[in-house]
Amino acid sequence: MHQLFSCYCGCRHRYYVNLTGELCVNPRIENLLQISADTSEDIRQQVPDMDAGFDDSDRTWEIIVKTAGSLDRIRSIYTNAEFTQLLCGYWIVRTTIYNIEALATEPEIIFIEKPKALYFELYAAKSEACVNVAKAEETQYGGVTGKGVLVAVIDSGIDIGNNEFLDDSGNTRIKALWDQTTGITYSDMEINSILEDYRDGAVKTLPARDVTGHGNEVAVIACGRSGVASDADILIVKLGNSGGNAYIRTTQIMRGVDYCIRKAIEYSQPVVVNISYGGTYGNHEGGSIFEMFIDDCCSTYRCSICIGVGNEGEGRTHYSGQLISGNVLDAELAIGDYEPQISIQIWKRAMDNARIELIAPTGERLVISERNAGVVHHNIKNMRIVSKAYGPGPFYMGEEIYAAIVATSGYITSGIWDIRFTAANVLDGFFNMWLPPVSTLSRATGFLRPSPEYTFTIPGTSRRAICVGANGRAPGSAATFSGRGVNVKSGLMLYAKPDITAPGVNIRIPGNKEKTVTGTSFATPMVTGAAAMLMEWGIVKGNDQYMYGEKLKAYLINGATRVGNVWPDSARGWGELCVAASIPVK
């Protein structure tokens, strides 16, 4: 049973709220949030992108809201909701499903989306990137080491007692630290006091401890004393990971970016932010609120944000095709043994009409492309299949078809699943499909005919961010795992990702002779440190007060090392990082 409502915003849309509290159709609420709210809890909990943002303890959802104008009126009405204001007109709201539907009718609200799951970009140097030349005092570069610049690492934590993050006097180089898991922030004075007590044996453990090692390794590369920006000041955000999930939510990244930029403004220092996380959910065209937030922050204050391209390059998690009117196209998906669930996203143009069927290895078939049908639930053997077609929306001219296959007991049926497109009237025909990140799937799972292009992860898709790929072993090559992006030219308009590559294979962590790391997680801090060096040369030393954002990106690209004649390249961007050549000395 449903109750009919009319939209208060003056548009012609109408929508339904299920009396059990489930959302149906509302053009201001993203597709995945509508699906997640209309799926039983036992099914939703098994799909990370669907479950991300829901707190079982108080039955609330965390949502991301893009707004127009003040929210004072709304906050006075929704007094039982928790509002957190971010930079540039974005908010994170914690509230019930009923309030979400009501919020979507308010004129100040532009769009609402839910958090997504993000994962380490770990696949599991400095001389290559011309870092040492730029650091040398006797060279024309004057010895740039990131001094006076803030390097912000938003990751899994840090070892604050590591010598890499101490100065010559044994004091911390970390100016501020926020541990999201505890909600506690620390100043440099507080960190120094904790370190003194730790050395004296008064305390046994240090705050913001990095259990995985990922954040510590990223920070050592970017701004450790043996790293790239070895004299930079440091900001640390330890990402919260409540509930023991294996993923980080997009909202945690957004809060971290907001914190770091506000601290940079407080300290009156330029800042480079490092994000070595990514996910595959989205159309990869920069249109989600998360991606737009990153873009807007790149235009805020004296800031640059470096993000990894991801490690989906050889993961068989992307399929691209083109529909032709009247033809049938079959995209085959192998699902390995012991997969408890899998989700499939299909993104196509709204003007292209096609019937899309999901065909199980045992022959059962169901249609997943019915428009305006709301969330559709199917049962096949021991599996529940939840799907919904949605679009176009305010920030995307196309249509999304989302389907999740979840085992209600045991595992989903292994074998070859077929996604069949029967095209009717087609104008453009191009479409893309994505699976969850390769790190979450068994080795046997993936498309039989995968497309390596468009395998870059979100938020590396953000247009103003510096998107970083990993160099391969051969000169001028990209690592096979490094995600492939996009290269779109139209007159003077150019959108190319990744922007640049950096060493990311077998990187030896300073201070640990035995350990090497591989992945775009570790190529990214190379570029983060390089950006800090350029900011020191430009802003701190007074050579160019506008050395940040798009200008800094342009100088990194200008100095990149290129092998070959065709640039940009969807795998290598504009070339390989060379810090010394990027500094515009005369």
Q: What SS3 state is found at 257?
A: helix
Q: Tokens 């080491």 belong to which residue? A: 145
Residue 423 CB coordination number (10 Å): 19
Annotated active-site positions, please? 155, 214, 521
Q: How many residues would you count in the chain?
A: 586
Integer Cα distance of 203 and 157 in angstroms = 19
Residue 206 CB coordination number (10 Å): 18
The secondary structure of 454-468 as a DSSP string is T-PPBTTT-SSSEEE
Q: Which helix (H) or strand (E) holds 254?
A: helix 250-267
Q: How far is CA 61 from CA 20, 241, 291, 402, in A?
A: 16, 16, 20, 20
**Measured over all CA atoms, what is the biggest interatomic distance in the chain, rounded to whole angstroms?**
77
Q: What SS3 state is found at 85?
A: strand
Q: Which helix (H) or strand (E) holds 419?
A: strand 415-423
Residue 415 CB coordination number (10 Å): 13
Integer Cα distance of 18 and 439 in angstroms = 36
Integer Cα distance of 367 and 376 in angstroms = 10
CA 39, 44, 50, 56 dihedral sign is: positive
